[in-house]
């Protein structure tokens, strides 16, 4: 049997009929949803990759050119989406080839990190994306919600399209201030979130301190998109939920990690009726170590003073992105962090980290890396002194992504 000819290239307009068919089969998308993808303001064939077998389109992948906040900085992010293969061509390594092409593209175009929403986390871990973030959702009977009043210091104002700039400024400012992990939203993103939903924002002392976007589905109220910068704003969010509890039987809302230990009895009358759901969310990958840390060169880290003028050596194992693979020196100077790649023969590594573990570390997934270490695979510690450095510099960041793509 002749060997199949595999080609990876950018898509073209001539590929649209085949790609529409592939998207419909893979994601059961409606025609209008597929059309909106190709007409999206950010759509470009430069970011669309297709795999052909014997000159027939077999698979595709798209890289959205987004931005996100990470540890207080805004950085370019490649959002991997529409990863799809026709059934007849599956299990032939086509997605692997597409992911390699996407990584090379992001590396060349100085996009240092990538985010995706997986169909299976173990599959993407093989290519360097971290194991994934879980969202926490509280579900309870609406009748059990305690009666909350809007604090006197808070004004609750309808969040309409003409208020997008105002709330967006709050969103971006709080993301940097609290070092949240968020996708940067443009006006079209906000309009998509607001469409068909009940939305409000909160003002305290003439400043926006939060917002909430509420979605009804049958007899259930979903509160999945909100940020509260103060205790008063959070109480106002609960007060808005109180106003709607007679219209639904159940309430579900995603809780920020920092609220994980919030006493449920303060929210509901019967804490035993509350169900806590853990659902997989996004996966994160460092695409380009050197370029990523160029965003942090001028950023002071409040937790690294004890390591000033010291250098630490980390071996990053990355079989998919060879420009990351090797020993990296992390040097602290004047409370700033700098990185430089070394030849493997030059220095002795203090720790060996697979790229997926390193990506989780950069993201801030581990409350304390040294305590998570016994449960992590393929990590080799050669010098325990480096653990205190990793615990301090790569501290927990409460990773949370509110946008699905």
Angle at alpha carbon of residue 161, lines to 156 and 167, rounded to 5°: 55
> 278-312 pLDDT, tens per residue?
888 899 999 999 999 988 855 545 556 677 778 89
Q: Please give the structure tokens belonging to residue 143.
A: 């009748």
What's the pLDDT at 300? Answer: 44
> 184-220 pLDDT, tens per residue?
999 999 999 999 999 999 999 999 999 999 999 989 9
Strand pairing category for 380-381 and 351-354: antiparallel
DSSP 313-366: EEEEE-SS-TTT-EEEEEEEETTEEEEEEE-TTTS--SEEEEHHHHHHHHHT--
Strand pairing category for 283-286 and 275-280: unpaired
> 77-132 pLDDT, tens per residue?
999 999 999 999 999 999 999 999 999 999 999 999 999 999 999 999 999 999 88
> 45-82 pLDDT, tens per residue?
999 999 999 999 999 999 999 999 998 899 999 999 99
What's the pLDDT at 260? Answer: 53
Q: Please give the structure tokens belonging to residue 35.
A: 């059309």
Reduced to 3 states (helix: H, G, I; strand: E, B; else coil), residue 398 is coil
> In angstroms, how far is CA 231 from the centroid of its own chain?
25
Q: Please give the structure tokens belonging to residue 362.
A: 């950069």
Q: Please give the structure tokens belonging to residue 176.
A: 């940097």
- How many other CB atoms sit within 10 Å of the CB of residue 320? 18
Model confidence at 227, in pLDDT bands (50, 70, 90)? very high
Phi/psi of residue 241, nearest 5 degrees: -60, -40
What's the pLDDT at 255? Answer: 80
Note whether 345 and 376 are within 8 A (CB): no
> 234-273 pLDDT, tens per residue?
999 999 999 999 999 999 988 865 555 567 777 888 778 7
- What's the rounded Cα separation, in Å, for the pair 212 and 5? 51
> 127-158 pLDDT, tens per residue?
999 988 888 888 999 999 999 999 999 999 99
Residue in this structure with the two tokens 């994306």, named with its chain if needed? 129
Beta pairing partners, 168: none
Give the residue from 232, 227, 221 showing the smallest Cα distance to 256. Answer: 227
DSSP 172-235: HHHHHHTT--EEPP-HHHHHHHHTTSEEEEEEETTEEEEEEEEEEETTEEEEEEEEESSHHHHH
Q: Which residues of 115-138 are buried (b: 16+ CB within 10 A; e: fewer)?
A: bbbbeeeeebbebbbbbbbebbbb
Reduced to 3 states (helix: H, G, I; strand: E, B; else coil), residue 367 is coil
**Which region, left, alpha or beta, applies to residue 398 given φ > 0 means left and ψ of -120 to 50 means alpha?**
left
Model-level pTM?
0.92
Q: Which domains are present in the chain?
A: 6-111 (3.40.630.30), 136-280 (3.40.630.30), 284-393 (3.30.1050.10)
- How many other CB atoms sit within 10 Å of the CB of residue 226? 23
> In angstroms, how far is CA 237 from the centroid of its own chain?
24
Beta pairing partners, 139: 252, 275
- CA 257 → CA 133, 346, 400, distances in Å? 11, 41, 8
Reduced to 3 states (helix: H, G, I; strand: E, B; else coil), residue 119 is coil
> 363-389 pLDDT, tens per residue?
999 989 999 999 998 999 999 999 999
3-state percent helix, strand, coil for the chain, nearest multiple of 5: 35, 35, 35
> In angstroms, how far is CA 12 from the centroid of its own chain?
29
Is pLDDT above 80 for 345?
A: no
Q: Which residues of 341-375 are buried (b: 16+ CB within 10 A; e: fewer)?
A: beeeeeeebbbbbbbbbbbbbbbbbbeebeebbee
Is pLDDT above 90 for 398?
A: no
- What's the rounded Cα separation, in Å, for the pair 181 and 170? 15
- What's the rounded Cα separation, in Å, for the pair 252 and 255? 10
Is pLDDT above 80 for 4?
A: no
Q: Please give the structure tokens belonging to residue 284.
A: 């994160």
Residue in this structure with the two tokens 């997986």, named with its chain if needed? 118
């Amino acid at each position: 049997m002749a060997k199949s000819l595999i080609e990876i290239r950018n898509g073209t307009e001539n590929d649209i009929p085949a790609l529409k068919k592939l998207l419909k089969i893979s994601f059961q998308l409606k025609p209008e949803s597929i059309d909106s993808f190709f007409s999206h303001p950010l759509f470009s064939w430069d970011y669309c990759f297709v795999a052909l077998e014997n000159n027939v389109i077999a698979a595709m992948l798209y890289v959205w050119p987004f931005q996100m906040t990470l540890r207080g900085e805004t950085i370019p992010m490649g959002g991997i989406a529409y990863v799809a293969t026709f059934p007849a061509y599956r299990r032939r390594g086509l997605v692997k080839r597409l992911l390699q092409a996407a990584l090379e593209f992001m590396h060349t175009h100085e996009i240092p990190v990538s985010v995706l929403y997986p169909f299976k986390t173990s599959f993407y871990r093989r290519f360097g994306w971290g194991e994934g973030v879980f969202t926490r959702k509280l579900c309870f009977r609406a009748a059990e919600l305690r009666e909350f009043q809007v604090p006197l210091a808070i004004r609750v104002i309808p969040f309409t399209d003409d208020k997008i700039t105002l709330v967006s400024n709050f969103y971006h400012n709080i993301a940097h201030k609290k070092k949240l992990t968020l996708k940067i939203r443009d006006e079209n993103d906000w309009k998509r979130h607001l469409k068909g939903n009940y939305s409000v924002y909160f003002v305290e002392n003439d400043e926006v301190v939060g917002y909430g976007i509420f979605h009804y589905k049958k007899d259930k109220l979903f509160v999945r998109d909100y940020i509260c910068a103060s205790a008063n704003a959070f109480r106002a969010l609960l007060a808005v939920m109180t106003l709607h509890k007679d219209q639904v039987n159940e309430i579900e809302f995603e809780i920020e990690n920092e609220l994980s230990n919030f006493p449920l009895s303060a929210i509901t009358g019967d804490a035993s009726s509350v169900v806590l759901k853990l659902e997989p969310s996004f996966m994160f990958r460092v695409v380009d170590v050197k370029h990523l840390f160029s965003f942090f060169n001028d950023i002071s880290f409040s937790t690294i003073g004890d390591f000033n003028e010291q250098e630490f050596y980390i071996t990053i194992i990355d079989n998919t992105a060879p420009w990351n693979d090797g020993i990296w020196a992390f040097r602290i100077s004047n409370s700033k962090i700098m990185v430089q790649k070394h030849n493997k023969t030059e220095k002795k590594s203090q720790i060996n980290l697979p790229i997926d573990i390193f990506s989780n570390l950069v993201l801030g997934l581990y409350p304390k890396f040294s305590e998570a270490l016994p449960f992590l695979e393929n990590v080799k510690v050669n010098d325990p002194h480096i653990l205190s450095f990793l615990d301090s510099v790569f501290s927990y960041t409460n990773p949370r992504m509110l946008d699905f793509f």
